[in-house]
Every structure is written in C-alpha cells, then in structure tokens.
Amino acid sequence: MTTTAQRVRRIALFDLDGTLIRPGSALQRMHMDAMAAAIAHATGRQDAFAYRGAELFYRGVNLAGFTDAGTVRTALRLAGAIEDEIAERLPEVVADMVGRLERSPLPGAGSAAGDLLPGARELLRALAEAGFALGASTGNARAVAAWKLRAAGLSGLLDDGGFGDTATEREDVARAGAASLTPPGSVPAGVLVGDTVRDVTAAHAAGLSCLAVTTGAATARELLAAGAEDVLPGLDGGGALDSVIRLSGPGAVGRSEAHLPLSHART
Ligand SMILES: [Mg+2]
C-alpha cells in the first residue's frame, strides 16, 4: 500500500519505433544502416536488414521488441561468436553504430517531423500539461533515441527514460525508464505506451499499465492476449490521452503496485 510518505508520481513511458515514429521511417532506416555497417565491420558479413510491412528482420530473426544491444548480440551469435567474445565486443559494436549514425548527414532539428505517427506530438504535450513525467522505453541506444527525437522535432518533450545500449531485455529497459522518472520517496504509477508484445510484458514488469497501439507490427488480438490494458489503432483523436489518464488513475495504481517488486520501489 502507498503510505502518505510515498507520493505517487504519474509517469508515461513511450516506445519510439512503431509507437511515436512510423515503422520503416527514414530515421529507422538510417539507424539500421548504421547498425548493419557496424555489424559488418565486426563480423565481416554484409547482411542487410529486411523490412516486411511493419516488421524488421535480420538473417530471418524478427527484431520486434529487440534492443540495439540485443540485435548486436544476435548478430554476433549468428556469426559464430561465443559468449565471452559477445560480452567483450558488444559495447564496441554499439558504440561503432552510434558513431556511424552521428557522422552521417544529420537531419536538421524537426526536419523529419513527417516520420512522426499522427497524434504523437500532441499527446506528449497534453500529458506534460496534465503533470505527467514523460520518458522513453526504447530499444534504441540513448544517443540514437536523442538523434531520432531531435530530427522528429520532439527534443525536450521526454525527460529521461530507459534505453538499449546494454540491456537486452525490454523488461530491464522499462524498469530503468520508470526509475529514471521517479524521485526518491515516490512510487512510479502510470502507463507504458508501445506497439509490441514485448512492450506489454515490459510494462507489467515495471509496475505500469500498458496502452498498446497497432501502428507497429502486432495486431490488437496479440496485444490483448499479452495482457495490454487497452489497445488503440493509434495516438491521434484524443482516445490515447483519455486512456493514459484512465490507466494511471487510482485503480491502476493498486494494480501496478501488485506487480512492483520492493527492490524497484524507491524509498
Ligand atoms: Mg516499437
């Protein structure tokens, strides 16, 4: 139970690709081109990332919900690296990918606003005005996320978050995102907005409800079966704002705390 000494901080975490940013966008393709080049440099294999609809594959592996670290780990494993080699080389490959992206011709701030999904910017602004702390829960490395948000014209709207530089599990990313927005003495309560089954399970692991959207590769049936508290066709039209507020209300707080391990409740 929440005590009077524990203030509840309402938070909303957002996945990026497929949730705020159009899947298969120019921004995502530049990210994946840099990833492919870094992997090729590390493994000697030239394997492109393949887009099928809203899904993304690497050597037949569906990357829905993967983190950057998880993608690199998978590529190194498929190239025959053993676990010790993977652990040793993973940070340098992620750093190489980030470096290649940052050295590529940089889209100007806001120049890729067309890569935003409808309603994304309006929802973030409305939630900030409603007093929510906003953050990312993304498989992108932190620098990649900042690069995409800047290009999409969202710089400054997300306060912090969880990222995929080293974490391979989305649950760890979401927990880090929730912790980043929760000051000492408060417990996180709120919502994670995402487009994959892994976003749903990550939300619950972090003690958050999940608003899932079908702008990515997953269907409403798949997202509901995974336990999403709400599923919408997108972020536009006001339904997402209502949903986030409703799911982070008093009823949701109790449900969230039932999932919240004590080790993740900052006191
Ligand atoms: Mg996504």
CATH number at residue 243: 3.40.50.1000
Residue 2 lies in a domain: no
From ligand 1's centre to the CA of 246, what distance in Å? Answer: 22
From ligand 1's centre to the CA of 21, what distance in Å? Answer: 8
Last residue of a domain, one of 84, 103, 122: 103
Mean pLDDT of 58-65: 88
Q: What pLDDT sits at residue 250? A: 66
Tell if the pTM clears 0.85, that is, is over it. yes
Find all residues with CB under 8 Å of 6, minimum gap 6, and list them. Answer: 185, 186, 187, 265, 267
Total structural domains in the chain? 2
Amino acid at 93: V
Residue 68 lies in a domain: yes
From ligand 1's centre to the CA of 137, what distance in Å? Answer: 9
Mean pLDDT of 41-58: 88
From ligand 1's centre to the CA of 7, what distance in Å? Answer: 30
Judge if 57 and 71 occupy the same domain. Answer: yes
List, for residues 74-92, the tens digit of each pLDDT value: 999 999 999 999 999 999 9
From ligand 1's centre to the CA of 14, what distance in Å? Answer: 9
Q: What pLDDT sits at residue 6? A: 58
From ligand 1's centre to the CA of 15, what distance in Å? Answer: 5
Last residue of a domain, one of 45, 71, 103: 103
Alpha-carbon distance of 144 to 58, in angstroms, equals 19
Query: SS3 for 13?
Result: strand
From ligand 1's centre to the CA of 214, what distance in Å? Answer: 10
Judge if 146 and 166 occupy the same domain. Answer: yes
With a cut of 90, say whether residue 114 has pLDDT above it.
no
Alpha-carbon distance of 256 to 250, in angstroms, equals 10
Q: What pLDDT sits at residue 254? A: 35
Residue 60 lies in a domain: yes
Q: What pLDDT sits at residue 255? A: 38
With a cut of 80, say whether residue 2 has pLDDT above it.
no
Nearest to 199 by CA among 176, 169, 179: 169
Judge if 238 and 249 occupy the same domain. Answer: yes
84-88, 110-114, 138-142, 240-244: segment of lowest average pLDDT: 110-114
From ligand 1's centre to the CA of 122, what distance in Å? Answer: 19
From ligand 1's centre to the CA of 253, what distance in Å? Answer: 25
From ligand 1's centre to the CA of 257, what distance in Å? Answer: 25
Q: What pLDDT sits at residue 259? A: 36
- Mean pLDDT across the chain: 88
From ligand 1's centre to the CA of 64, what distance in Å? Answer: 7
List, for residues 183-223, the tens digit of each pLDDT value: 887 887 899 999 999 999 999 999 999 999 999 989 999 99
From ligand 1's centre to the CA of 194, what distance in Å? Answer: 6
65-79, 105-119, 228-242: segment of lowest average pLDDT: 105-119
Q: Return the percentage of the chain with pLDDT > 90, whole number.
A: 69
From ligand 1's centre to the CA of 195, what distance in Å? Answer: 5
If you search the block for the tokens 């969202």, which residue do you land on? 154
In terms of residue numbers, what domain contains 171? 7-23+114-264
Judge if 185 and 140 occupy the same domain. Answer: yes
4-8, 61-65, 182-186: segment of lowest average pLDDT: 4-8
